[in-house]
Amino acid sequence: MTTHQVNAVRYDAGSATHVSEQLAVEDVLQININGEPFSVTMRTPGDDEALVRGLLYTEDVVPAHGTEYRYDETVDPRTGRVLRADVSIDPQALNADVAKGRSLMATASCGICGRKEMRDLGLGGEPLRPSAMLDVRWLPEWQAKMQAAQATFTRSGGSHAAAFFSLDGQCLAVNEDIGRHNAVDKVVGAVIMQRALDVAECLLVSGRVSYEIVLKAYKAGAPFIVAVSAPSSLSARASDELGITLIGFCRETRATVYSHAECVGPEEVSP
């Protein structure tokens, strides 16, 4: 289950009522590579293989999304939740730093925990180039599709979502998690498992956009990021440098383009 029922007391205008509430589940997942601990991450259980495959790709642990490796899970027999994910892979296929023993500690809120220096964050590389322009008039429909798939948020109000669309409007995957970056890793992993990463050009997220979200989108080759809320200043600068069109405050018919507006249509712009 992705939500957990708790008893609570709700106050409204000073009047108290006993209620039953659904909370998004936050639980630990240990990730081992070739029998050695690599990461302990806090996430919402579910789509764990997609999370692991997306995390290993966006964190540059496995340098190519076509890299083959074995994935196994250890499940708690009492709850049915995955406690540990074990990845078995040819050491020659691993990033050199990981092969030497680099590990990653992550929480549900921070996608760059465990990085000790700014140079480890990976900013740099050839700018992305989209295969076509993005028509902002399609975005309300795309957001509606993502929202319709947010079952955990509907029950708890406490989860984030990410979705991947192709530029012809196909919804490739929608995933939820209590952590924003986990939701992105899950959706990246989902399209990798579908072998659809090459056409997944538009990443939608349900919250704000921070620097680590931009890095994950860049690693996934997504030249468009669309967010319900605001971007940070660093995410806007990074998007500009990396060739990513960053769109924030996308609500109903409104949207604000913070970088590479030339990749967005229709072309009429009021003074």
| Domain chopping of the chain, boundaries | 27-120, 134-265
> Candidates 3.40.50.12280, 1.10.645.10, 1.10.1200.10, 3.40.140.10; correct CATH number of 134-265?
3.40.140.10
Model pLDDT, residue 109: 52
Report the pLDDT averaged over residues 18-28: 93
Structure tokens at 85: 């994910």
Split at pLDDT 50, 70, 90, the class of 218 is very high
Structure tokens at 90: 């040819």
Using CA atoms, how far residue 200 sits from 24, 33, 129, 166, 176, in Å, is 27, 27, 13, 5, 17
pLDDT above 70: residue 124 = no
Q: Which residue has the tokens 């913070």?
A: 258
Q: Which residues pair with 225 in a beta bridge?
A: 203, 246
pLDDT above 60: residue 271 = no
CB-based contact 189:52 (threshold 8 Å): yes
Report the pLDDT averaged over residues 19-48: 93
Structure tokens at 117: 């220096």
**Interatomic CA distance for residues 240 and 135, integer angstroms:** 19
Model pLDDT, residue 157: 93
Q: Active-site residue among 110, 113, 250, 263?
A: 110
Mind listing the pLDDT tens digit for each residue in 242-264?
999 999 999 988 999 999 999 99
Select the more confidently predicted residue: 103 or 68: 68
3-state secondary structure of 136: helix
Split at pLDDT 50, 70, 90, the class of 114 is very low
Q: Which residues pair with 36 in a beta bridge?
A: 33
- Annotated active-site residue 110? The verdict is yes
pTM above 0.85, yes or no: yes
